[in-house]
Amino acid sequence: MDPFEPYRNEPFLDFGDEATLTSFRRTLGEVAGRLGREYPLVIGGAHVHTEERLDSLDPCFPDRVVGRASMATSEHVEAAFDAAYAALEEWSRRDMADRARHLVKLAAIMRRRHAELAAWEVYEAAKNYLEASADVAEAIDFCEYYAREAMHLSGRARTYDHPGEENTSFYQPMGVGVVIPPWNFLLAIMVGTTVAPVVVGNTVIVKPSPSTPVIAAKFMEMVAEAGFPPGVINLLTGADADIGDALVDHPRTRFINFTGSVATGLRINERAAKLQSGQRWVKRVYLEMGGKDALIVDETADLDLAVQAAVASGFGFQGQKCSAMSRLIVVEDVYDEVLERFVAGVEALRVGPAEENADVAAVINQRQFEKVLGYIETGKVEARLAAGGGRAEAAGPGYYVQPTVFADVPPSATIACEEIFGPVVAVMRAKDFDQALTYANATTYALTGGLISRDRSRLERARREFRVGNLYLNRKITGALVGVQPFGGFDLSGTNSKAGGPDYLRLFTEMKTVTERF
């Protein structure tokens, strides 16, 4: 059906291979020599430099400037809408295969620059080597996958015949959208949430997180190289206070594709609902938001697997994944043993600079650092501290937080209910599997979750009753693969748009039906 070779997930760089590791260290050195440069806004393909600059800092060495991004104002917002609408006319009329080839080309460029892009992520977001490579691989996957999925939307929709008439239903683009990604999957989510609306014929304005504007600038270099026409993808970096509301409120915004926290998501939802003067449509808003993800371990579980899965799910990328395990719910019979082994696993994690490939590096910025430390203080009042418990000063001058575990956390505790988004895990004791499942389902979030068990009937029950968008049985609960595990939650975790899934592209289209009687 599509003209491309079969889809498969992009492999991560293999850092177990000595040559790959040595080569990556060399790439890190090369990228280090390019830190501190200035990056423009990109509006209609033109580079726009502003006087004021947004400094992107290395979380592990906050006085190291990774790059200096231009800062957009409301004037640039208007110019970006002009450019995106100017590009829309031609781009929206192209063949689907033509647009899809741009994504395949972009994927090829990212594949060639895989190590370099991962190196930028090490500096800009404090990802260790594997986390950085996984993010680049996911960005490539989004391009390759959506290129192929787009071909399924290029023809007629499935409808029945009616005598004497020709009836045709087809999908068409909606218009100009605003893409607002978070900093945590700085390349992957930005790329995925951008190229999906674009491949089906929309044009977009991308507003990345102020914490990670440099990777966004790198993305725009590749967008140009891939041959996207000017104005199809526009980049506005800057402060949310200057341009966030302006983009959301704008009467020419047709849709908003947001990934981030509940607080920001709900604000966007509310503002976008208001009809602005001159606005001719109901804005479509997609919100993929936070999680308070739980892993249940029951008394039948393989405890080696349970501990390994818990450490990886809780502390990979410093716990700053929407899918990260922030609650470990253990059935009483094995509680003490699991807790002891989990704490031992957590205490063995090496905290230090991402560029040295530490297991746990710094959290993203000062604000997040203070927020996480604040939750740790709350945890000390609400529960029993079992590991960590504060700043990891020995690791260096960056925003390092000790991998922290609280034990005997009651289900009503703040640290059992609110998303912390850092290396902090609440361990909860349940008297049996029933109670564990009740605890797991007790938050307003429903993003990821997992169960480690050998009991067939419980695994089946979890399939039905564990209320999360992505449920993992007998493995870690992070690392969803594009095209394999469509990703997105229920409830306050979001609108369940399922990134990397077969229904995703449809969200950025409208269906038109034409009936002709002869």
Can you give the binding site for ligand NAD, defined by CB under 6 A? 180-185, 189, 207-210, 240, 244-245, 248, 259-261, 264, 267-268, 288-291, 322, 419, 421, 447, 487-489, 493-494
Clarify whether 288 is annotated catalytic: yes
Query: Could you tell me if 362 and 320 are in contact, meaning their C-beta atoms sit under 8 angstroms apart?
Result: no
Of the listed 10, 131, 322, 382, which one is catalytic? 322
Query: Based on CB atoms, which residue is closest to ligand NAD, 62 or 230?
Result: 62
Query: Could you tell me if 142 and 192 are in contact, meaning their C-beta atoms sit under 8 angstroms apart?
Result: yes
Record the tokens describing residue 131, joined without a space: 């986390």
Closest distance to ligand NAD from the beta carbon of 206 (Å): 9
Query: Based on CB atoms, which residue is closest to ligand NAD, 9 or 261?
Result: 261
CA 31 – CA 444 distance, rounded (Å): 42
**Cβ-based neighbours of 24, under 8 Å, separated by 6 or more:** 13, 15, 115, 118, 119, 129
Of the listed 288, 355, 382, 419, which one is catalytic? 288
Closest distance to ligand NAD from the beta carbon of 512 (Å): 30
Closest distance to ligand NAD from the beta carbon of 317 (Å): 11
Query: Could you tell me if 261 and 419 are in contact, meaning their C-beta atoms sit under 8 angstroms apart?
Result: yes
CA 213 – CA 181 distance, rounded (Å): 11
CA 159 – CA 288 distance, rounded (Å): 31
Closest distance to ligand NAD from the beta carbon of 362 (Å): 15
Query: Based on CB atoms, which residue is closest to ligand NAD, 223 or 272?
Result: 272
Closest distance to ligand NAD from the beta carbon of 515 (Å): 39
CA 321 – CA 336 distance, rounded (Å): 27
Query: Based on CB atoms, which residue is closest to ligand NAD, 139 or 339?
Result: 139
Closest distance to ligand NAD from the beta carbon of 249 (Å): 9
Q: What letter does residue 322 receive in the DSSP assignment?
A: T
CA 109 – CA 219 distance, rounded (Å): 10
**Cβ-based neighbours of 168, under 8 Å, separated by 6 or more:** 156, 159, 513, 514, 515
Query: Based on CB atoms, which residue is closest to ligand NAD, 331 or 416?
Result: 416
Closest distance to ligand NAD from the beta carbon of 278 (Å): 20
The tokens 């999957």 sit on which residue? Answer: 185
Query: Based on CB atoms, which residue is closest to ligand NAD, 139 or 386?
Result: 139
Query: Based on CB atoms, which residue is closest to ligand NAD, 239 or 282?
Result: 239
Q: What is the DSSP string of 91-145?
A: HHHS-HHHHHHHHHHHHHHHHHTHHHHHHHHHHHH---HHHHHHHHHHHHHHHHH
Record the tokens describing residue 141, joined without a space: 């996957």
CA 220 – CA 228 distance, rounded (Å): 10
Closest C-alpha among 290, 322, 283 to residue 508: 283
Burial class (CB in 10 A: 0-12, 13-18, 19+), 385: middle
Query: Based on CB atoms, which residue is closest to ligand NAD, 316 or 489?
Result: 489
Query: Could you tell me if 258 and 264 are in contact, meaning their C-beta atoms sit under 8 angstroms apart?
Result: yes
Record the tokens describing residue 381, joined without a space: 């009042």
CA 93 – CA 200 distance, rounded (Å): 10
Closest distance to ligand NAD from the beta carbon of 263 (Å): 6
Residues marked as catalytic? 288, 322
